Structure 1
Amino acid sequence: MPHKIRDKKVWVFDLDNTLYPAECNLFQQIDVHMGEFIQRLLSLDPIEARKIQKKYLVEYGTTLKGLMANHDVDPHDFLDKVHNIDFSPIQKDVRLRSALERLDGRKLVFTNADLQYSEQVLDRLGIADQFEGIFDIHAADLEPKPKLASYEKFARTFEIDPTHAVMFEDMAQNLIPAHSLGMSTVWIDTGSEWGDPGQDKDHIHYETNSLSSWLDSFTKDNS
């Protein structure tokens, strides 16, 4: 593994579809709840509600941000409703836990989700105690990734020099600001069209389809 990542001392992890496999498909549940929320809010049928949902996702980074900007939605109410899901598809990941235990340095979660949801996911995975902190959407002042200001606030909050950090993320566009600040980047390719960087991969240093496998190999090679 190249020297530039071997010597990093801060490890920054996205949550959804990164720390757990995309096959858990929690987003399908969340997606349904978001659609239902928009249907009730705007009195729309499912098809029109979905158009609004995806339009805001593309234009604002998250559906929530679009709903706040255009419909004055209370973010706490929205997140409580859409994150009221069944977490049972997530199982303890012994391999990931072992790799995290071997990983030398500070470990942090940087997510567009909220704190309560994030803690439930980490508990299900059996790795909650491996992280120093969680930087959630509220800590980011409701400015989602890939807003550069959120990355800068994340770095200030945890007193991080980005050039000493590595970021793991399934949404390739969310690695662009990380790269611009000097972070090394690892893209988790889930096969999703939303996560694909397209032809431009200059901001991606490494890629894998399994975080557990990548970290397991990396930490064993560097132990």
Structure 2
Amino acid sequence: MSLGKAKPVGTWIFDLDNTLYPASCRLFDQVQVRIRQYIRENLGLSESEALALQKRYFQEHMTTLRGLIVNDGIDPHHFLDFVHAIDLSGLAPNPALDAAIAALPGRKVIFTNGSVPHAERVMEKVGIGRHFEAIFDIVASDFVPKPDLGVYRRLCAEHRIDPAGAVMIDDMPRNLAPAHELGMTTVLVKTEDDWAGPDVDPSFIHHVTEDLAAFLWPFGLPAKTGSIL
């Protein structure tokens, strides 16, 4: 099994939410509720007004957080702490994903629009944190989110990633477009959630999977390490 090019992967870049755990866990639903609560409490809006603002900022600024920073001057650190104070009891260890990631050749990095503490909590519950050498979060990007191309360039520069030897895995199609532009191989983890984005031009998505562990497993086999990309 090959990812398209006869070259070993240097770096595997993983999104976090709804990628390294199933969207069916509904964790992001909790985050969305917390975002609206934050908007209500800090901007004095009703629930319907908060929902409308949340959606508008997400569309216009790529994340609601970015819109709140640009337009309302909120403290992003306080926002992140607040919206990530969620119940993770729905997450369970994933031994299959743990084994699949462990077997992969190359480095592994988390690239998330969330925060490092949130990523660490999630990875501890799933049982995969030991595999990742770095977490490049929204703080590291100066609160400029994916899919801003400059953030991808910054990730590659700070962590010495050669895009031509990298694979990026994300559940949002729009987040894979800049990765493709830089020369990465792209993998979409398909979900049924509307917020992940409508159907898009598939030319920048090289692979699609609904089971990340099953997709990754063949690329960790010794015979495949020379032809993964």
In structure 1, how many angstroms separate the alpha carbons of the residues matched to 2:182 and 2:70? 28
Relative to structure 1, the CA distance from residue 88 to residue 206 in structure 2 (aligned partners, 3 Å threshold; closer, same or farther) is: same
Unaligned runs of 5+ in 2: none
Q: Secondary structure at the match of 1:207?
A: strand
- Alignment correspondent of 2:224: 222
| Greater Cα shift, 153-162 or 39-48 | 39-48
Asked if 2 retains the 8 angstrom alpha-carbon contact of 1:112 and 1:137, the reply is yes
Q: What is the CA deviation profile of residues 145-194 of structure 1, one whole-angstrom value per residue up to 9, with x for unaligned ones?
A: 00011100000010111111000000000000000000000000011223
In structure 2, how many angstroms separate the alpha carbons of the residues matched to 1:96 and 1:102? 10
- Alignment correspondent of 1:120: 121
Asked if 2 retains the 8 angstrom alpha-carbon contact of 1:155 and 1:161, the reply is yes
Equivalenced residue count is 223
Q: What is the CA deviation profile of residues 103-161 of structure 1, one whole-angstrom value per residue up to 9, with x for unaligned ones?
A: 01101100000111110011111111100110000111111000011100000010111
Q: Secondary structure at the match of 1:28?
A: helix
Q: What is the CA deviation profile of residues 187-223 of structure 1, one whole-angstrom value per residue up to 9, with x for unaligned ones?
A: 0001122324524101000001121121124434737
**For the aligned residues, what is the CA RMSD?**
1.4
Unaligned runs of 5+ in 1: none
In structure 2, how many angstroms separate the alpha carbons of the residues matched to 1:52 and 1:196? 18
Q: In structure 1, what residue type is equivalent to 2:89?
A: S
TM-score scaled by structure 2?
Answer: 0.93
CA shift at 1:43, angstroms? 1.4
In structure 2, how many angstroms separate the alpha carbons of the residues matched to 1:81 and 1:9? 35
Q: Secondary structure at the match of 2:196?
A: coil
Q: Percentage identity across aligned positions?
A: 44
CA shift at 1:24, angstroms? 0.9
Asked if 2 retains the 8 angstrom alpha-carbon contact of 1:173 and 1:197, the reply is no
- Alignment correspondent of 2:22: 21
Q: Secondary structure at the match of 1:134?
A: strand
| Greater Cα shift, 97-106 or 187-196 | 187-196
Q: In structure 2, what residue type is equivalent to 1:213?
A: A
CA shift at 1:44, angstroms? 1.4
Q: Secondary structure at the match of 2:52?
A: helix
- Alignment correspondent of 1:100: 101
Work out which structure has the larger RCO, using CA pairs closer than 8 Å and 6 or more positions apart in sequence.
2
